[in-house]
Amino acid sequence: MKRFCFISLVAAVLAVGSSVNAQIEGRFGFEYNEVQPWTHPKHELLLGKLAKAGERGDINVNVLAGGWFGMQPRPSAPINFTETDSIVKLFGRHGFSLAWNLLPNAPWAYPNKPDCQPDTILGIPIYTKHCASEIAFEQHWINYIKAVVERYDGDGVNDMPGLQRPVRTYIMTGEIKFGMTGRGDQEKGPFWYDSIDNLLRMHRITYAAIHEADPSGHSKLISSGALLFDLYADFPDYPEFDPMNPNSLIQRRRRGENYRGSTYAAGWDSLKKMLASFGNDTDGIECDYIGWHPHFSWRGIEQEFAFIRAYAGNKPIYVDDMWCNLFAIGYAAIPGEAQFTASRFPNRNWVKAINGDFPNALFTSNDPYGELFQKLNTDNRAVLDWYYANGARRLVKSFAAAFGEGAIMVNFSGTNDQPRGIPLIGRGWVGGWINLAGTYQESYFEKPQYHTYKLLAGKLRDFTTATELKVSADPRTRVYEFDRAHGPVYILWSETGEAPPNLDYSKPNGETVTFPVESDNLLLTHIITDTVNTKPRVETIIAQNRKVTMQLGYEPIFLEGMTANVVSQMQASFPAAFELEPNYPNPFLSGAKPRSTGNPNTTIRFNLPTTAQVTLKIYNTFGQEVRTLLDRRFKAGQHQVAWDGRDEAGKPVPGGVYFLRMRAMKGSTNPEFVQVRKMLVVH
């Protein structure tokens, strides 16, 4: 039996008319977390990398120009577009559209709401709260929305000078009543401090203002949503999502069987009321798309989306930000940010119930999330490698589940790490290592999930419909079929087993499944899980009577027919010639602690048009061998390796000039290729 979800084609929805809007397409995007100032050249470097990673869709910026209050600090003040103009131009130069977070945070618009007034120090606002405008100031909000939309809608009338990529999505403030501290209904905010009725009213007037300013329909309003954390992370009461039985696990968790013993009645009821209103336009239209934030990887997405559809009907779902990897925080706070499933006493069982392969042999304590944080924070190489590979695995499964269950656009969170010392988002905090790329100080080194994101976007760029094939009664096993003009691609995995032996995820240890395919000759593509082999490993398999039987594992795989298009893409992915590329950065620091400030590593890339035995050696100016970086066989493709400026004994090398020599051999006799590059090491 199949569950079939129609996915609207973004190009068909948005590319209407002859305006600049006709250029816009793309359902893959990002939540951007590089910090200001926007004039810093780091943004050009990062956006250039993101542009190479796949489709150029939306980029969501959370705190945009200080919100409404930052752009209009007084009712009589003109709207200041200086910062937003620079951001829209910056993103447009790289082919991205800004996803505009609407922050109704002007305290002058709600002077009679004490709970909505900003937190201050010495009378200076340090944190403004999101609330609905009072009736006397409502027209100011409407005028603000109309002015923003008119400036950035790309219709050729009163547009920002030099507009390349119009703003196509506006996101209402969200995650109502489900805060970060696990206190349930006792907590206000952090993103909405007013009533649910006022939030819905703000949706209606904002929707009307957007569509009055841009009657073409190109500009869309994304609704508020919710972050349900780990409520569904272990498939409670599956496949139910809002059971009426008071003894159901979901209901017990909401009543207090959770980490802090909190009650989530008001938040739950408010969420249902909000979704029901989104699905009923008789009282006014509130949004074009429903915004959502599935931050606990793929496991909760099916039940969460079923919850949305039950109350909001078939209104499209837009995932404006989606974290995929583990949250590295232990019992010093809420372990793993798991508000609903975490045990109040440290143990490994509840962690394994929501993750499957974590904790594993790398983690031995009863507080594995805390141990994860400690080992990431001390640059434990084995844990860093596993964590980045885990991010690539979860990224594919999260996108596949989100699209497969009905989302029309998905933005990945977040773009890059921040160095230590940056509160909340830097290394040393819960999400310090979770992102697509490294820090600016590391030249945004490309983690495995960066290359896997690029692979995924290429596979799903033109899919039209998504279907989950029901191959198992166990919800931890999934096969999604994505239809494309040149034939379907399947994404499949199974998390029913333990962590694989020796953490070798290339060897499946989950369920064995059988399902129909449309071709007997199939290409199996593996995801990218390390920083050395940045081209996917592929193999061919033969189906019997257009049915495949295979064992799956934690590592998701792509399966597609060997059409002429797929073969040409596979061949085109191979480099045309042997090449040793210049190392980057050059110069770099010798022997610095990995992942610290400065340039502690240099990345060395090499290209192989065919399988070859590759040796990479480093020599000093006296011709003495300093280090052997590689000496093994590689398949055709692009590969990379890092050097930390240390010799074979692990000691930092002196500053100066060094030579990198690559030797590639197809057989056991003459070398096919030899090339030397010069490197400069500094202290």
Query: For residue 571, what pLDDT is reported?
Result: 59
Which residues of the chain fall short of a pLDDT of 50?
A: 1-24, 592-599
The residue ranges of every structural domain in the chain are 63-306, 465-572, 579-682
Q: Residue 564: CB partners within 8 Å, gap ≥ 6?
A: none
Measure the CA–CA gap between 413 and 430, rounded to whole angstroms: 14
- The pairing of strands 521-526 and 538-542 is antiparallel
- DSSP tag of 381: H
> What is the reported pLDDT for 182?
84
Q: What SS3 class is residue 93?
A: helix
Domains 63-306 and 465-572 share a fold: no
CA distance 393 to 370: 22
Topology given in CATH for the domain delimited by 579-682 = Immunoglobulin-like (2.60.40)
From the list 162, 163, 193, the residue with the least C-alpha distance to 176 is: 193
- In this structure, the strands spanning 407-413 and 28-32 are parallel
| Residue 579, both tokens | 């090449």
Cβ neighbours of residue 427 closer than 8 Å, sequence gap 6 or more: 376, 377, 417, 418, 419, 420, 433, 439, 595
Angle at 339 between CA 335 and CA 341, to 5 degrees: 85
At residue 114, the pLDDT reads 94
Closest CA to 402 of 529, 536, 295, 287: 295
| Gap between the Cα atoms of 630 and 85, Å rounded | 48
Cα Rg for the chain, rounded, in angstroms? Answer: 26
CB within 8 Å of 626: residues ≥ 6 apart: 618, 619, 620, 647, 648, 653, 658
CB 258 within 8 A of CB 250: no
| pLDDT given at position 595 | 39
Give Dmax over CA atoms of the chain in angstroms.
Answer: 85
CA pair distance 540, 524, nearest whole angstrom: 6
pLDDT at 476: 98
Dist CA 242 CA 310 (whole Å): 9
Q: What integer pLDDT is reported at residue 324 of this predicted model?
A: 93
The CATH architecture annotation of domain 63-306 reads: Alpha-Beta Barrel (3.20)
Query: Which architecture characterizes domain 465-572 according to CATH?
Result: Sandwich (2.60)
What amino acid is encoded at 398 in this protein? S
Residue type, 384: L
Beta-sheet pairing, 97-102 with 317-322: unpaired
Q: CA-to-CA distance for 327 and 304, rounded, in angstroms? A: 20
Give the per-residue pLDDT at 402.
Answer: 97
Q: DSSP labels for 619-683? A: E-TTS-EEEEEEEEEE-SEEEEEEE-SB-TTSPBPPSEEEEEEEEEESSSSS-SEEEEEEEEEE-
**Residue found under tokens 């809420």:** 334
Nearest alpha carbon to residue 30 among 608, 427, 558, 435: 435
Q: What pLDDT was estimated at residue 562?
A: 80
SS3 614: strand
Q: For position 306, what pLDDT does the model report?
A: 97
* Closest-CA residue to 480 (of 437, 504, 440, 513): 513
H runs (alpha helix) in 341-442: 349-355, 368-377, 381-404
